[in-house]
Amino acid sequence: MKPIKSSSVKKLYIAAMLLFPLALAAQKSVDLDRYRFTVQYRSLPKLRLDSTYRTYHVTIEGTKLMQSFLDDLSPDKSVLLEGWRKLPADAHLAINIKLGDLVPESFSVKERTEIVKNGNGQITGTRVFYHQEVVYSFEAKANIADYKGMHVMDEELCRRQYKQVYKSPEFAIKYLAEGYFLVNSMVVTRDLYRSAVNRAMHDLSNRITDNFGFSEATVNDFMWIIDSRKHPEYSAHRQTFQQLNEVLFNMSASSPMLGVREQIKPVIDYFEKIKKIYSSTSKHDRKIRYASYFNLAVLYYYLDDPQAMMKEAKGLELNDFDAKDAKGFEETATWLKNLFQQNNIYTRHFSIDPSSFKGPFEKGDITIK
């Protein structure tokens, strides 16, 4: 074996000295980027009811003036309470909807001036167009009670004080715009009434599902991933997130999380290991630990573990890097814990078969917990 020449040793020494500051810089700085993902779960009711209540029916009350328009609609069919069974009558919850008149309140004509140009782009004149604006109002309310006659809540779906504006088509002649609503009042009123009723039913469905329902929710969220290619954790971070994404992608609102905690354990172990490896008080280490605390807090939220989420939030606060995020996690963990306790359901991943639910006067009342 030939001895290494002194000139070669000097070259190796110089190369090492040049690379050392780069390696040191990689340790001193780290960039984080948002890693976005999609996950699914089942929303739980915000308001507490008797847990045996799982059926509902809807009744509609209109006015004499609007009855002919109401006959063309079936608003009761569009009211949906997700996760419940709808009955024609005699259900646990009775939702009574009162639809008021659609009332035109004022009329005006607006004009729009259009500049006319020739082929050379020169202005040659103007054209004026007219349209009618009709200010109108509508009201709708819903009363919700149980089959025992106990009042549950009232919902104001549209207030008379809320003014809406209808705009007619444009005309080149002013008097055509002035008389548009008068000539077409039946057609326009029918269309406006249908739209107003449909909006009210859609709004009511969202509210009652939010308060009492079990809807499937698909949400987008993010965690922090290392985005510095020269950082020693760059590749490991990406491999971890790839594994994490596969598990989250396969989570379903209708399927229990059997085995999910075991599948996700390597991800949790990695982030916990990062906290220990980068344990100094330097900004670099606090920043990379921040990502681990943040990611674990988000992960535990979707694993339905508010207690573990709270622990990560406390750690994030003590870590003293963007500690303000800790408060939001703490509030969310407390909210989720209370939601579970209120419903006596401790998971957001389970199937529901509304057809199996029975009304209070049917045999075999069924409750899903």
Measured between alpha carbons, how far is 323 from 315 in angstroms, rounded to an integer? 9
Q: Is residue 35 part of a domain?
A: no
Positive or negative, the CA dihedral 191, 175, 169, 111 is negative
122 with 72, same domain: the answer is yes
Positive or negative, the CA dihedral 260, 335, 41, 248 is negative
Tell which of 162, 192, 212 closes a domain.
Answer: 212
Measured between alpha carbons, how far is 249 from 114 in angstroms, rounded to an integer? 53
76 with 202, same domain: the answer is yes
Residue by residue, pLDDT tens for the chain (369 residues) are 444 444 444 444 444 444 444 444 445 678 999 999 999 999 999 999 999 999 999 999 999 999 999 999 999 999 999 999 999 999 999 999 999 999 999 999 999 999 888 888 888 889 999 999 999 999 999 999 999 999 999 999 999 999 999 999 999 999 999 999 999 999 999 999 999 999 999 999 999 999 999 999 999 999 999 999 999 999 999 999 999 999 999 999 999 999 999 999 999 999 999 999 999 999 999 999 999 999 999 999 999 999 999 999 999 999 989 889 999 999 999 999 999 999 999 999 999 999 999 999 987 645 444
Q: Which residues lie closer than 8 Å to 345 by C-beta, 6 or more apart?
A: 44, 369
Tell which of 193, 212, 231 closes a domain.
Answer: 212
Check: CB of residue 349 under 8 Å from CB of residue 304.
Answer: yes
The total of other beta-carbon atoms located within 10 Å of residue 134's CB is 20
Q: What predicted TM-score, i.e. pTM, was given to this entire model?
A: 0.84
Check: CB of residue 223 under 8 Å from CB of residue 12.
Answer: no
The one-letter code for the residue type at 345 is: I
The pLDDT, as a whole number, for residue 116 is 87
228 with 168, same domain: the answer is no
Which DSSP symbol is given to 121? S
Number of domains in the chain: 2
Q: Which residues lie closer than 8 Å to 361 by C-beta, 6 or more apart?
A: 90, 147
Q: Is residue 140 part of a domain?
A: yes
Q: What's phi and psi for 136, nearest 5 deg?
A: -135, 165
Tell me which residue range forms the domain holding 93. 55-212
227 with 283, same domain: the answer is yes
Q: Is residue 138 part of a domain?
A: yes
